Amino acid sequence: MRGWVKRVLVGRPLRTGSLERELLPKRLALPVFCSDPMSSVAYATEQIIMALTLGGLAMLHVTGWIGAAIVAMLIIIIVSYRQTCYAYPGGGGAYIVSRENLGTNASLVAASALLVDYVLTVAVSVAAGVDAITSYVPGLESWAAALGVASIAMLTLINLRGTRESGRGFAVPTYAFIVGVYLLFLVAAWRLAAGDRPRAVSADYVIDPLYQPVGVVAIFLVMRAFASGCTALTGVEAVSNGVPAFRPPKSRNAANTLAIMGVLSITMFSGITALALFTGVRMTDPDHPGRLAGVPANYVEPTALAQIGDAVFGGGILYAYLQATTAAILILAANTAYSGFPMLVSILSSDSYLSRHLHKRGDRLVFSNGILLLATTAAVLLVTFDANTSRLIQLYIIGVFVSFTLSQAGMVRHWQRTGRPHSPGIRRRQAINAVGAVVTTVVLVVVLVTKFVYGAWIVCLAMLALFLLMKGIRRHYDQVRAATRPITPLVHPSIGHAMVLVSRLGSPALQALAYAWATRPTSLEAVHVCTDEEVTRELREGWERYAPAVPLTLIDSPYRTTVSPVLQHARERLARHSGEIVTVYIVEYVIGRWWERVLHNRLAARLRGRLLLISGVMVTLVPYRLASGERRAAGRRPPRRAPRLVLLSKGLPRDSS
C-alpha cells in the first residue's frame, strides 16, 4: 500500500542512465534556479519603504537612491557569478570556490551560510506568497501558518518527482508573473502618458515617525532600508551551485541563464520601485503598529505590489491576475532553495561533512533526503515565526552576503593561482571579482550592524552550530576510516562457537538451531536465561525429545533480567577461549502489521545492540515469519497450518569445552 501511494505521488523510479534526460534547457532552468531573485522584487521595494517610514514620510525621497544602489550591486554580483559558472562547472558555488582557494574553514563557513540561507529562502518566499493571498482575501490571515505549511508540502512533492518535472510545473507561474509585471508597467505608462496619475490606497494616510530622522538616526534608517532591500539579491548564487543540472554546454547555458535573470530582475525591481514612488505607497512596520493615521478601523495593510496593482489596474481581472501570479511566484520561488540545498548537502556529504545518506539520489534521480530535510526545517521555522514575513526578513540575507563575500574572495585567489598574472583577460576577471568582494563585504557589515539586534544574531548562532556540527561529523568519519583501515591480510579464525538464544521451546528456536548447525561451527550450544520457572521447566522437559544433541545452557537470573546474563555469558566464553569468535543467533519475528511492532522484537533489538559492543562477538538474526509477515511477503493470505516442531537429534557439534 505504501509503495503504491509513493508511486502515485512521486512517480515510477528512473534508471541511472536517464540522468542525461533530466538535464534542463535554459527555458526550464530559469524558473527552477531563478524564481527566487525574480520573485523577491515583489517585496524588496516594500521592505525599503517600510524601513524608511520609521522616520516618517520625509525619508521616502531616499527610496530611489537606495534602489539604484541595489541595482548596481545586482549587476556586480551577476557579472561575478557568471565567471564562477565557467571556472567551476562542477557546481557547488561558494563552498567549492572557498574550499579550493581559501581553505577548509572558509569553505565550511560558506556552506553554513548557504544552508541557512536556503532554509530562510523557503520560509520567507512562502510567507511572502501567503501575504499576497491574504492581501486579496483578508479573511485568511489567521490561517497564514497553515497555508504556508501546505505550500511547503506541495513544493516538496513536486520536487520529489524530479528536476525536469518541477521545471515544467514552475515554468507557467514564473512566466505568468513576468507577463503580469510588465503588463503593469505598460498600463501605468499609458495612464501617465494620458495625464492620469494612479494613486495608492495608502497615499493620503499620515505616518507618525517613530524616530526623528536627523544625524546618525537618519543614516541608520537609510542603512537599514538598504539592508532590507538587498533581499532582491538573494538566490543569485543558485545558478552557480547547480551548473551540473544544465544541458551541455553547461557553463555557457548557466551563465546565459544568469544574464537573462539579471535583466528581468533589474527591470522589474526598478519599475516597481518607480511606481511605488509615483503612486505614493505607504507601508508600516508590523512590529510598530498604530503609526498609520486616518485609516478605517478594520484596515488590513496590503502589500506594496498589491497597492500598486490596485492603483494601476483599478481592481478587476487584471488586478486579480497580478495577485494570483504574485502569490504563485512567491511560493514557487522557494524552489530555488529546493534546487540548491539538496545539491550542496550532497557535495558536503561526499566530503564527509554531513551524513552519507544525503549523497544518494532517490527514485526520481533527485537528492530526496536533502529535499525532505529542507522542507522539514523550513516548515518548523515558518510555524515558529507564524509566517510573518517582516520578522523572517530580519534573519534573511546574512548568509547570502557571507557566501557572496567568500565566493568573490575565492575567485580572486583562483585567477591568481591558475592564470597568467600579466594576461589582460585574467587581470580583468580578477578585478571584477575583487570589486565584488569589496562591495559585498561592505554590505555584509551594513547588514550585520542594522539587523543584528532584530534577529540576525539567530542566524549567526545557527551558522556557528552548523560549522561545528560539520567539523564534528568529519572528525567522526576520519576516526572511522582510521579504525577500519586494513592492517594485516585476512587470517581464517581457528575456532568458531555458535550460541543460540532460546526463550522457549518452539519452532522459532529449533529453526535457529538448524540454521546455526548448517553454518558448521566448531561448537554449538543453546542458551536460556531462567526468568520464569514454568517456562524453564517446559524447556528442560522437551529438550531431550526435540534437540537432544545440542547442549542446553541454563543461566540463572535472580533479578529476572535477560540482557545482562547473556552479555556476561558471552564475555566469560571469550575469556576462556582467547581468539575465538562467538556468533550469537537471535530469533526475530517478521511481521506484517504496524501495530505488531509494539508486541514483538523489543528484546531482540536490545540484545543485538548490546552484543555488538563486545569485541569478538558476531550477531546473526534468524527471521521467523508470522502469518501476517507471510501475507505481506506474498501479497496474499497463505493457508493456515499448525506450527511444526523440527526434531534435531544427531550430528550436531557439541561444545568442546
pLDDT one-digit tens code per residue, 170-186: 788 889 999 999 999 99
Give the number of other CB atoms < 10 A from CB of residue 334.
32
Q: Give the ranges where 577-643 is alpha helix by DSSP (H).
A: 602-611, 627-634
The amino acid occupying position 473 is I
pLDDT category at 639 given cuts 50, 70, 90 is very low
From the list 433, 246, 474, the residue with the least C-alpha distance to 351 is 474
Count of alpha carbons within 13 Å of 418, Cβ hemisphere only? 14
According to DSSP, residue 203 is labeled T
Using alpha carbons only, what angle is made at residue 541 by residues 535 and 546, rounded to the nearest 5 degrees? 105
Mean pLDDT over the full length of the chain: 81
pLDDT tier for residue 525 given thresholds of 50, 70 and 90: very high
Q: Is the pLDDT higher at 235 or at 94?
A: 94
Domains of the chain: 22-478 (1.20.1740.10), 496-634 (3.40.50.620)
Q: What is the pLDDT of residues 541-578, one digit of tens each?
A: 888 888 888 899 999 988 778 899 999 999 999 998 88
- Separation CA 215–CA 452 (nearest Å): 21
Gyration radius of the chain's alpha carbons: 33
Whether pLDDT at 638 is above 60: no
pLDDT at 1: 41
- What are the cell numbers at 289? 503598529
CA atoms of 650 and 460, how far apart (whole Å): 70
pLDDT at 263: 93
Length of the chain: 657
Q: Which range, of 35-39, 282-286, 323-327, 437-441, averages the lowest pLDDT?
A: 282-286
CA dist 19 and 361 (Å) reads 10
**Cα–Cα dist 158/147, whole Å:** 17
Nearest-angstrom CA–CA distance, 219 and 441:
19
pLDDT above 70: percentage of residues in the chain: 83
The b-or-e profile of 356-380 (16+ CB within 10 A means b, else e) is eebbebbbbbbbbbbbbbbbebbbe
Does position 632 have pLDDT exceeding 70, yes or no? no
Q: Do the beta carbons of residue 172 and residue 21 sit within 8 Å?
A: no
Query: What mean pLDDT is predicted for residues 287-310?
Result: 69
Q: Which helix (H) or strand (E) holds 227?
A: helix 215-229
Quote the crossing angle between the two packed helices 398-418 and 457-484, to the nearest 10°.
50
SS (H, E, C) 141-186: HHHHHHHHHHHHHHHHHHHHCCHHHHHHHHHHHHHHHHHHHHHHHH
User: Is 616 within 8 Å of 580 (Cβ atoms)?
Assistant: yes
Cα–Cα dist 133/276, whole Å: 20
Q: How far apart are CA 494 and CA 510, in angstroms?
A: 27
Q: Residue 203: is its pLDDT beyond 60?
A: yes
* β-pair partners for 195: none
Using pLDDT thresholds of 50, 70 and 90, give the confidence band for residue 195: confident
Distances from the Cα of 258 to the Cαs of 85, 237, 336, 360, 525, in angstroms? 9, 9, 13, 28, 70
Residue 222: how many other CB atoms lie within 10 Å: 22
**Mean of pLDDT values over 241-267:** 88
Distances (CA, A) of 368 to 92, 155, 158, 329, 522: 18, 13, 11, 23, 46
Long-range contacts of 511-515 (CB under 8 A, 24+ apart): 511/587, 511/622, 511/624, 511/646, 512/585, 512/586, 512/587, 512/622, 512/624, 513/547, 513/550, 513/648, 513/652, 514/646, 514/648, 515/585, 515/622
Joined together, the cell numbers standing for residue 544 give 531431550
Which pLDDT score is estimated for 633? Answer: 65
